[in-house]
Amino acid sequence: MKKIFSCCLGVLLLCLSFVATVSAAADREHYKVLVVFSYEENAPWDVDIREEIEKTLSPYADITFFYMDTKASLQGGPQKAAEAFALYNHLHPDGVIAVDDNAQSMFVVPYLRGKVTTPIMFCGVNADPELYGYPTENISGILERFHLEESMMFSRQLIKQIDTFAFMVKKGPVADLLAKQLEQDKKHISARLVRFMTPETMEEAITMTREARKDIDLLFLVGLWGLNQDGSPLVEGEIIPRLIAEFDKPTSGIAASAVRVGVLSAVITNGREHGYRASSMLLKAMRGTPVSQLPITCNSHGKRMINVSTLKKLNITPDPLVLRGAELVKTR
């Protein structure tokens, strides 16, 4: 009887020890994370990134999200960055994720880089990381590189003849970075860039689109969220359908949200990939992996998308093989 009691007591103590160990591990896994977005809360790119960050980190961390709203007001970015830093000082987070370039230039570089040891992961960054002094002993992340030639070739599979193209992107830092990537990639792009257009207002965008229609085969519509009309910033669903109607030729892009509101096709960069990879890297860093062992990476998973509503409007009948494996959507 004593042996049975002793055995049961041993098992009980072992179970209690296991529970205590699991509990202690759970306590160690309870982190605080601050995520600073360059853009607005309802921007589709940021929505995808946020959802993936929540999916990856919420079992282990309390996550606080902050939006700098620089699509609507680039001028207000520095003040928003100061507010983000005040929030950082209030939270004392175990880790930070900074999304897109404005969060780097306005927030991380002036307030955190070289001043704190908190692990920081960036994502959605278009500039060369050296511009921000990355990597450092506590900063790494994932760069965003657009699938320009892939999108061009996909468009050519749909409509055959594309010799010339143009880009339209809202004037600002993203336009500058995209122009740099185009300059670097032009020898690899199989069509001739005729125009690079950077409107600030909807009226300018319409005028530029009408002019572009005269001499280009394909129009890339990129990063137009926030174009001004009568003093108010517009969203993609208000901008892109109007420009598509003016152009009345094939269009391409780099974002799923643009295809869903009417752009004909794209090989998209995936915000979910950025959110997952940045949050996975941050989790490793918070668990003790040196950031030097988490090198800067680049997005790699492009996805083909076609808007079948636009396909029909343009009377395009593609080879059925082109449709295989692509995500087909209708205009919302």
The reply to whether CATH 2.40.128.110 applies to domain 148-268+303-329 is no
Tokens of 73: 């007001």
Q: Tell me what pLDDT residue 3 has.
A: 46
Q: Tell me what pLDDT residue 90 has.
A: 98
Full pLDDT tens readout for the chain, 332 residues: 444 444 444 444 444 444 343 344 444 579 999 999 999 999 888 999 999 999 999 999 999 999 999 988 999 999 999 999 999 999 999 999 999 999 999 999 999 999 999 999 999 999 999 999 999 999 999 999 888 888 989 999 998 889 999 999 999 888 988 888 888 887 788 889 999 999 999 999 999 999 999 999 999 999 898 899 988 999 999 999 999 999 999 999 988 889 999 999 999 888 899 999 999 999 999 999 999 999 999 998 788 999 999 999 999 998 899 998 899 999 98
Q: Tell me what pLDDT residue 8 has.
A: 44
Q: Tell me what pLDDT residue 72 has.
A: 85
**Class of the domain covering 31-145+271-298:** alpha beta
As a three-state string, the secondary structure of the chain is CHHHHHHHHHHHHHHHHHHHHHHHHHHHCCEEEEEEECCCCCCHHHHHHHHHHHHHHCCCEEEEEEECCCCCCCCCHHHHHHHHHHHHHHHCCCEEEEECHHHHHHHHHHHHCCCCCCCEEEEEECCCHHHHCCCECCEEEEECCCCHHHHHHHHHHHHCCCCEEEEEECCCHHHHHHHHHHHHHHHHCCCEEEEEECCCEHHHHHHHHHHHCCCCCEEEEECCCCCEECCEECCHHHHHHHHHHHHCCCEEECCHHHHHCCCCEEEECCHHHHHHHHHHHHHHHHCCCCHHHCCCEECCCCEEEEEHHHHHHCCCCCCHHHHCCCEEECCC
Annotated domain spans of the chain: 31-145+271-298, 148-268+303-329
Q: Tell me what pLDDT residue 94 has.
A: 98
User: What's the predicted TM-score (pTM) here?
Assistant: 0.76
Q: Which amino acid is at 222?
A: V
Q: Tell me what pLDDT residue 145 has.
A: 85
Same topology for domains 31-145+271-298 and 148-268+303-329, yes or no?
yes
